[in-house]
Amino acid sequence: MPRVLAPRFWGVHLLAAVAVGVAAVLGFWQYDAWQERRAAEARDLTRLEPLPLDAVLGPDDPFPGDRVGQPVLLGGTWLPDATVLVAGREHEGREGYWVVTPIAIGAEDGPALPVVRGWVASQDAVPPPPEGYGELVAWLQPPDPAGEPDPDPDDDVLQEVRIADLVQRVDQDLYGAYAVATEPMDGLEQADLDQLPEVSRFTALRNLLYAVEWWFFGSFALFVWWRWVRDEAMAEPADGAPVGSGA
Amino acid sequence: MTRLFTTYRVLALIVGVLLAFCSLVALPTKYLATDGSSLQQFGEDASILWVAHGWVFMVYVVVAFMLSRAAKWTPQFTILALAAGLVPLLIFWVERQVAQRLRAEHPELA
């Protein structure tokens, strides 16, 4: 049996295993805290005071990258004829549809913003779209990038919220964005945000730095243990007295 | 070993000052000062130095370990030297012990 496996050294091996294990666990704990605090911060940003739409985004503006998930106040005329469904949207683990109706901001022929009114499990359960003037608070979202092609471009079911697809269904210009109603409308369930706000790079950075520290100390304990094993194994004195030192 | 010794002393000083400041100034002002007061805010902001302490301590641990191998310290003294970076003010005493020991055994270190 190798000398380092002698029962009188078991305590050392146990100590090393405990030290490495504890450091690894504490590192993961800090890492989780880092991720969780960033997610919480992102959710907090969606609870900001709503701003009027024109304070955030003009009809011809590119989407402002720092306004993902910004709550905006919308007021205008619903365009019920342009209502579409967007397939493949999850809500509480179930797949269903988003119900999207554009709203013409300001005047009836003003530029329109597609609004996700809510989520529905089946195409048959879609409530009738709203008509006339409406006001609501909604989270601003950038449009989906061009992705999978629509298998049936002639029906009212889309695969993505794409401005290029929606613009064919209305007579006016569309904003380069869409919005998700913060309160689901008439008979629909809440549509979950596709994209949460981007949090600062420095948010909860401290937790990440602590995580790295813990993993470093775990590696260091492993290194010290390995040095000790190597020294003990090399010592191998005739009288069996320990020669190697080290913590 | 002279350079290792100097590096060790510098790191011990930095770790000691950071730990003393964090635990004796930043920690009490953060938790004991009135909520919302500027003193409490100062404690909150100063707490970022815990991260600095942690990262300098990582370097300290490596250097102290290398020094312990070079100077053939006992395991007990090695552990004391490593752990000193975690107990406020202890490191200043340990650093003097280390200096005394090394000078006794290696007169050339002066």
B8 within domain boundaries: yes
Amino acid B110: pLDDT: 61
The chain A residue lying nearest B49, using CA atoms, is A206
Instruction: State the pLDDT at residue A236.
Output: 62
Give per-residue pLDDT as tens, B91-101: 999 999 999 99
What's the gap in Å between the CA of A15 and the closest CA on chain B? 13
Task: Using CB atoms, pick whichever of A213, A224, A247 lies closest to residue B55.
Answer: A213
Is B65 a domain residue?
A: yes
pLDDT at position A218 is 94
Asked, for residue A25, whether it belongs to a domain, the answer is yes
> Does A95 reside within a domain?
yes
Checking if the pLDDT of A235 tops 80, the result is: no
Task: Assess if residue B85 is contained within a domain.
Answer: yes
Q: Tell me the CA distances in angstroms from B22 to A30, A182, A205, B10, B37, one per residue in order.
A: 20, 43, 18, 18, 18
The domain in which residue A142 lies consists of: 50-181
Count of domains observed in chain B: 1
Query: Is some CB atom of chain A closer than 8 A to the CB atom of B67?
Result: no
Instruction: Note whether residue A186 is domain-resident.
Output: no
Predicted confidence (pLDDT) per residue in B23-73, tens digit:
999 989 888 888 888 888 888 888 889 889 999 999 999 999 999 988 888
How far is it, in rounded angstroms, from Cα A43 to Cα A63?
A: 20
Residue B110 falls inside a structural domain: no
Is residue B21 one of the residues assigned to a domain? yes
Which pLDDT score is estimated for B41?
Answer: 87
How many domains are contained in chain A?
2
Residue A79 lies in a domain: yes
Give A3-37 pLDDT, tens digit per residue: 788 888 888 899 999 999 999 999 999 999 998 88
Burial degree of B76 (CB within 10 A; 0-12, 13-18, 19+):
exposed
* pTM given for the model: 0.63
State the count of interchain CB pairs (< 8 A) between A and B.
34
Distance, CA of A39 to CA of A196 (rounded, Å):
9
Residues of chain A with C-beta less than 8 angstroms from the C-beta of B69: 246
Tens digit of each residue's pLDDT (9 = 90 or more) over A206-230? 889 999 999 999 999 999 899 888 8
Q: Are residues A88 and A132 in the same domain?
A: yes
From chain B, the residues in CB contact with A226 under 8 A are: none
